[in-house]
Amino acid sequence: MDKERINVSRREFLIHSTALGAGFSLGLYLPFSGNAFAAGGVAPTVSSSVPEVNAWVVIEPDDTVVIRIARSEMGQGTLTGLAQLVAEELECDWAKVTTEYPTPGQNLDRDNIWGSFLTGGSRGIRGSQQYVRKGGAVARQMLIEAAAEKWKVPMAECHAVNSVITHRPSGRSTTYGKVAAAAATMFPPDQVELKDPKDWKLIGQPVKRLDTVDKLNGKQVYGADLKLEGMLNAAIKACPVFGGKLKSFDAAKVNNMPGVRKVVAVQDNAVAVVAETWWQAKTALDALPITWDNGPNATLSSASIEKMLEAGLTSKQNVFVGNQHGDVNKALQGAVKTVEATYGYPYQNHACMEPMNATARWTRDRCEVWCPTQNGTAALQAAVAAADLPISQCDVYKLLIGGGFGRRGFHDFVTQVVTIAKQLPGTPIKLLWTREEDMAHGYYHPITKCKLVGGLDASGNLTGLHVRISGQSILAAVNPKWLSNGADMITFQGLLPEGEHAISYTVPNLLVEHAMRNPPVPPGFWRGVNINQNAIYLECFIDELAHAAGKDALEFRRKLLADQPKSLAVLNAVAKKAGWGKPAAKGVYRGLSVCKTFDSYVAACAEVSVDAKGKLRIRRIVAATDPGYAVNPQQIEAQVEGSFVFGLSALLYDECTLKDGAVEQTNFHNYPSMLIAEMPKVEVIVMPSGGFWGGIGEPTIAVAAPAVLNAIFAATGKRIRQLPIKDTALRSA
């Protein structure tokens, strides 16, 4: 790969060029709000007072390098990965690197210089890798120029390594910290040259995460931990029925309970109690007499939703095509053998370990919000709308997230806390949801069903495939403007003709459709989004076709992947490492899956056993991923392992069912996660082929469940087509 040459405009990088102190900052002077945290708290936003030049790097006189991160850290490692990208081009001492967040308000003040504040769709690194590397490269050039001017030598005779600048002919050297003030007066270069990947020294290395130590010693402040001087706490309860309203409540019954300061209505569907401590607020809320108007959805049930989806499998109304070529009807009519199956996937909650929370302080001229968010800009917009103040008088301070998975891209909890804070002006209010509230008011993984019909010729080759998905559209609920001529193209993840979610297989005649059916349950982006069910539908059905054709599941896939070398490579890698084609241990059976999604190529081979009583044990999963470039292989391995916990929990246990318009599951006793003892051994193959930037956090979640399901069939002869499998008898009585 040739070196990249990037044009850099003066407006893009030059903000201030005056040296105001002894340090050097490639960024803006972005002070915290000025309001001190309570003892033990840590300001989560920019706090440097050194001179500013562009947005990414602050260098203190002692050589400390502060890298500013716009994306959100929620355990996936984006914070460390982005810092690696900047530090690679900066040529700084990694041992002296730390990070901090700017705020979305500060980003708007500076013409969005930090780019997107959204972290989702596995885009934390791949969506910003170019401009953050550019920021590091510009910083390096300006530091070298400052040293060269000091020595009165040409810049070309100087180079930087590990925060030290050296003049090659004379051997003279200096550190970044010593030339920082002078560098702050330099104009940024018009062009910077990014490193050729073959010259990377930090990118691609399994360096330790920058946030681990603070998590282990308890220093890390999450939203649920935050304490501000004079802060009160709030607990909230909304109508449990979707679309229901708050009718009335009797505040007099709890006003005199310990610690209670105020009982307030929140919008038109919730009530909150504000007290000195959160437990006092929750206790009073539990005792508060509340009357709900359950509204039009009071009779909604899982059974009624199921009927709606069943009808969509054969209906001709409100059907959208996502991928079509050839003549499927003709191919199926002429097939020697046809195979048909219907699969189903339930509603699921994100169930983040840290329930939804936010803290706000509102006055007549200022609104500040502290919250864990996947989209700082959207959180700011929610705060502005609720505060009834100009955007210039509002800001959001991002905190590290105790679990996001897509849920914290929605900001109903921000709207709520600002609404509450407006009723107690000048007082910081921390709102923390109960787990029960979190379960009842999510943005759920959409429910779908899928009917698949495939045709085989006399040689067992796949000649035609018809896929009909019936179910919910996320975009129709979240933002209908994003629909494409009425169609929700995100529904077709992993089944599209091209792009980052293209179908892996080459099928001569193909038709993929979506019958849009939208029950009144709010859908949302759940880690992996629609690839989770689509990979199950396609990969399990491919296994069914291979079985019907009398062919080995690997060889059947290989033929269909002949034109997809990267998908074929990851599939071959897991098959080889797992020992496909060789006898497994007695009682152990294998299953495969492969897909392309979020611009990465992923595959898995699962090994399971099912005993005589029908007890399933997932013993081992070999997983391969080709993300193009691998910034931190250790973090990739951790993400794959973590995604399997999430995906396998969904496969085994997790579903949200509805009765009388409300979600029946209330806590982890009836919405469990996998136990440590249930977790299989995971062997990760990271095989970056270069030339592109694929996602990490979401692609691999998709291949675990279908690989396990296919292995269960190999073990038992039973096809499981409805998730979760907790109530499925895997062995006959």
Q: Which amino acid is at 536?
A: I
Query: For position 732, what pLDDT does the model report?
Result: 67
Tokens of 191: 């062009």
DSSP track, 480-497: GGG-BTTB-GGGGTTTBS
Q: Is the pLDDT score of 566 beyond 80?
A: yes
Spatial neighbors of 512 by CB under 8 A, at least 6 apart, are: 321, 322, 323, 324, 467, 469, 492, 495, 503
- pLDDT of 320-378, one tens digit each? 999 999 999 999 999 999 999 999 999 999 999 999 999 999 999 999 999 999 999 99
Q: What is the per-residue pLDDT across 585-603, written as a single tens digit (0 to 9) for each?
A: 999 999 999 999 999 999 9
| Cα 683–Cα 688–Cα 689 angle in degrees, nearest 5 | 140
Between CA 535 and CA 450 the distance in angstroms is 11
Report the C-alpha gap between 253 and 289 in whole angstroms: 8
Right CATH for 4-217 from 3.50.7.10, 3.30.365.10, 3.40.1110.10, 3.90.1580.10: 3.30.365.10
Higher pLDDT, 35 or 241: 241
Report which of residues 451 and 4 the model is more confident about: 451
**pLDDT score of 110:** 87
Question: Are the CB atoms for 594 and 504 separated by under 8 Å?
Answer: yes
Cα–Cα distance, 70 to 374 (Å, whole number): 10
Give the Cα separation of 464 and 557 in Å (integer).
15
The number of residues in the chain equals 733
Q: What is the pLDDT of residues 169-199, one digit of tens each?
A: 999 999 999 998 888 888 889 899 999 999 9
Q: What is the DSSP letter of 699?
A: T
User: Tens of pLDDT along 603-619?
Assistant: 999 999 999 999 999 99
Once rounded to an integer, what is the mean pLDDT over residues 466-490? 98
Q: For residues 196-207, give the mean pLDDT.
A: 98
| Sequence-distant (≥ 6) Cβ neighbours of residue 636 within 8 angstroms | 625, 627, 630, 684, 686, 696
pLDDT, one tens digit per residue, over 381-398 is 999 999 999 999 999 999
Taking a C-beta distance cutoff of 8 angstroms, is the pair 153, 102 a contact?
Answer: no
Degrees to nearest 5, angle at CA 528 with 726 and 712: 35
pLDDT at 20 over 50: no
Q: Flag whether pLDDT at 92 surpasses 50.
A: yes
Buried b / exposed e along 471-500 (16+ C-beta atoms within 10 A): bbbbbbbbeeeebeeebbbbbbbbbbeeeb
What distance in Å separates the CA atoms of residue 588 and residue 591, rounded to the nearest whole number?
Answer: 10
**pLDDT classification of 22: cutoffs 50, 70, 90:** very low
- Asked if residue 436 has pLDDT above 80, the reply is yes
pLDDT in tens, 247-275: 999 999 999 999 999 999 999 999 999 99
46 band by pLDDT with thresholds 50, 70 and 90: low
Confidence grade of residue 70 (pLDDT, cut at 50, 70, 90)? very high
> In sequence order, what are the beta bridge partners of 496?
502
Say what angle helices 565-578 and 553-560 make with each other, to 10 degrees.
160
Sign, Cα dihedral of 477, 480, 484, 487: positive
- For the segment 413-431, the average pLDDT, to the nearest whole number, is 98
Sheet holding 270-275, edge to edge: 260-266, 270-275, 232-238, 429-432, 357-363, 366-372, 394-399
Band of pLDDT at residue 44, cut at 50, 70 and 90: very low
Comma-separated ranges of CATH 3.30.365.10 domains in the chain: 4-217, 223-295+356-432, 302-348+444-716
For the chain, the helix, strand and coil percentages under 3-state DSSP, each to the nearest 5: 30, 25, 45
Confidence grade of residue 45 (pLDDT, cut at 50, 70, 90): low
Contact indicator for 359, 385 with CB cutoff of 8 Å: no
Tens digits of per-residue pLDDT, 691-716? 999 999 999 999 999 999 999 999 99
The number of C-alpha atoms within 13 Å of 348 and in the hemisphere containing its C-beta is: 30
Give the torsion sign (CA, 209, 210, 211, 216): positive
- Rounded Cα–Cα distance for residues 675 and 304 (Å): 33
pLDDT at 152: 98
Q: Is the pLDDT of residue 379 over 80?
A: yes
- Distance, CA of 87 to chain centre: 24
- pLDDT score, position 485: 97
Q: What is the pLDDT of residue 187?
A: 87
Give the Cα separation of 287 and 259 in Å (integer). Answer: 14
Residue 309, token pair as written in the block = 């989806």
Contact of 354 with 523, CB cutoff 8 Å: no
Q: Report the relative pairing of strands 600-610 and 616-626 from DSSP bridges.
A: antiparallel
Both tokens of 266, joined, read: 């929140």
Q: What is the pLDDT of residues 100-125, one digit of tens each?
A: 999 999 999 988 989 999 999 999 99
Q: What is the pLDDT of residue 51?
A: 52
Rounded CA-CA distance 20/373 in Å is 33
* Out of 13-22, 339-348, 487-496, 548-557, least confident range: 13-22
- CA 353 from chain centre, in angstroms, equals 15
Confirm if 68 and 56 have CB atoms less than 8 A apart: yes
pLDDT band at 57 (very low <50, low <70, confident <90, very high): confident
Strand (E) or helix (H) holding 374: none
**Pairing state between β 600-610 and 589-597:** antiparallel
- Residue pLDDT, tens place only, 619-628: 999 999 999 9
Could you tell me what percent of the chain has a pLDDT over 70? 92
Q: What are phi and psi of 601, to 5 degrees?
A: -110, 125
3-class SS at 464? strand
Give domain 223-295+356-432's CATH number out of 3.90.1150.10, 3.40.50.2300, 3.30.1490.20, 3.30.365.10.
3.30.365.10
Fold observed for domain 302-348+444-716: Aldehyde Oxidoreductase; domain 4 (3.30.365)
Is residue 359 within 8 A of residue 435, CB to CB? The reply is no
Confidence of residue 33 (pLDDT cuts 50, 70, 90): very low
pTM: 0.94
pLDDT at 2: 40
Residue 594's DSSP bridge partners are: 603
Torsion over CA: 147, 149, 152, 158 (sign): positive
How far, in Å, CA of 326 to CA of 464, rounded?
Answer: 9
| pLDDT tens, residue by residue, 641-686 | 999 999 999 999 999 999 999 999 999 999 999 999 999 999 999 9
- Mean pLDDT for all residues in the chain: 92
Q: Is the dihedral of CA 180, 182, 185, 191 positive or negative?
A: negative
Dihedral angle, C-alpha 598, 603, 608, 614, nearest 10 °:
40
